[in-house]
Amino acid sequence: MEKTVAQEENEREEVIVVESTIEWFLQTRRERDKNLCFWVFFVSFLSWVFVFLTRATP
């Protein structure tokens, strides 16, 4: 009887660890996606400015 209770507690702890790991992964993924969007926007903006400046000068 004690063994099954201990096993159940271990299984619960494992589930909690897995859930927190998934949460952490999703959170870091969201932050990475935000950073990626920022860099894509920034690089496209810089390239647009470069093209504008090279076309504007005769």
23-44 pLDDT tens trace: 888 888 888 888 888 999 999 9
So what's the pLDDT on residue 30?
81
**Full residue range of the structural domain in which residue 3 is found:** 1-58
Q: What is the pLDDT of residue 33?
A: 83
The helix/strand count (H/E) of the chain reads as 1, 0
Residue with structure tokens 């702890």? 13
- Return the DSSP state at 47: H
Residue 17 pLDDT = 85
Q: How many domains does the chain have?
A: 1
Predicted TM-score (pTM) of this structure: 0.46
Q: Which residues of 19-50 are buried (b: 16+ CB within 10 A; e: fewer)?
A: eeeeeeeeeeeeeeeeeeeeeeeeeeeeeeee
